[in-house]
């Protein structure tokens, strides 16, 4: 099967590209290759590549910047997503799109179900929610939306790599301990996207690694593994702080754990792995890639 991935330089696109095999040819297209703001141009490129399925791994992901860059965030996370869904509909190919835990408010106090009310706190979440709405309106019959959270990979910018750099260069860190979610290795998310295509996944679902953590818990685990694997050579003090002690332009949900049961039911070949095990897998790969 020929699977076209929109987005080339991002974490998820990179992990999807690693899954190219004799069974599935995966072609990643960046903004130089396809203009996702224009239906006829997107159609032309998808036809040229003989797309048999499309995964949208592109997004405006700068959560804080989005607060002052509203037009661009909506252009990429909503309008272009609607364009891609329409293009997939015209070509009759399945469309898999990735969304976020940030569509939720964070005050539920229990894992969010796919159909729970969307009440985003910021522009990024609101623009992603609008992207979801456009897909559901335009192409419900052959599309899947997979929401995820706290994604990281050996490739690209993410919390794990930022922490390792800061732990190497700073005398101490203060990390938020009152935001709870689930870290997710993008490698597992990429596998879920491919399985979604193979199993004709439809509708809205959630995929994250299993278990829950605060950013503080996540940072402590990164430090411990970093020391064990030789990615760090010294331990620094890490202090838990509250969200109010670290103000950011965008508000973030305090609790955004996602209920994954619908996806687990729909994709029998996908098993959820605990975030601590996946963190070890990612950091072991990171270590092996060091010169």
Single out the residue of 165, 271, 163, 166 nearest to residue 221, CA to CA. 163
CB of 179 to ligand NAP, least distance (A): 13
Residue nearest to ligand NAP (CB): 10
- Tokens representing residue 47 in the block: 């036809």
The catalytic position among 60, 74, 124, 185 is: 124
Buried b (16+ CB within 10 A) or exposed e, 11-45: bbbbbbbebeeeebebbbbeeeebebeebeebbeb
Nearer to ligand NAP (CB atom), residue 61 or residue 177: 61
Biggest distance spanned by C-alpha atoms of the chain:
56
Nearer to ligand NAP (CB atom), residue 76 or residue 192: 76
Nearer to ligand NAP (CB atom), residue 161 or residue 167: 161
CB of 254 to ligand NAP, least distance (A): 16
All residues at 6 or more sequence positions from 22 whose CB lies less than 8 Å from its CB, including other chains: none
CB of 10 to ligand NAP, least distance (A): 2
Nearer to ligand NAP (CB atom), residue 185 or residue 225: 185
d(CA 260, CA 282): 21
CB of 11 to ligand NAP, least distance (A): 4
Q: Please confirm, yes or no, whether 124 is among the known catalytic residues.
A: yes
Q: What are phi and psi of 176, to 5 degrees?
A: -65, 130
Single out the residue of 78, 54, 77, 208 nearest to residue 142, CA to CA. 54
Residues that bind ligand NAP (CB under 6 A): 7-13, 30-31, 36, 57-61, 76, 98, 100, 128, 148-151, 156
Active site residues: 124
């Amino acid at each position: 099967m020929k699977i076209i991935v929109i987005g080339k330089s991002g974490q998820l696109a990179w992990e999807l590209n690693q899954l190219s095999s004799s069974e599935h040819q995966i072609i990643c297209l960046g903004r130089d290759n396809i203009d996702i703001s224009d239906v006829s141009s997107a159609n032309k490129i998808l036809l040229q590549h003989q797309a048999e399925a499309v995964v949208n791994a592109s997004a405006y992901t700068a959560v804080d910047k989005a607060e002052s860059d509203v037009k661009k965030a909506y252009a990429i996370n909503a309008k272009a997503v609607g364009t891609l869904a329409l293009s997939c509909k015209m070509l009759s190919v399945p469309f898999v799109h990735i969304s976020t835990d940030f569509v939720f408010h964070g005050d539920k106090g229990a894992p969010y179900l796919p159909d729970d009310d969307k009440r985003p706190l910021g522009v990024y979440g609101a623009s992603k929610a609008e992207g979801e709405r456009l897909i559901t309106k335009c192409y419900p019959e052959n599309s899947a939306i997979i929401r995820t959270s706290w994604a990281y990979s050996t490739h690209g910018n993410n919390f794990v790599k930022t922490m390792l750099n800061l732990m190497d260069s700073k005398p101490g860190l203060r990390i938020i301990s009152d935001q709870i979610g689930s870290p997710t290795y993008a490698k597992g998310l990429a596998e879920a996207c491919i399985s979604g295509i193979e199993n004709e996944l439809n509708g809205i679902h959630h995929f994250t690694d299993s278990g829950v953590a605060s950013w503080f818990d996540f940072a402590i685990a990164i430090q411990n593994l970093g020391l064990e694997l030789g990615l760090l050579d010294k331990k620094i003090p890490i202090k838990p702080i509250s969200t109010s002690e670290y103000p950011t332009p965008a508000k973030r949900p305090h609790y955004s754990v996602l209920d994954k049961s619908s996806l687990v039911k729909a994709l029998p070949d996908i098993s959820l792995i605990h975030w601590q095990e996946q963190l070890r897998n990612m950091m072991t790969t990171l270590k092996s890639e060091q010169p």
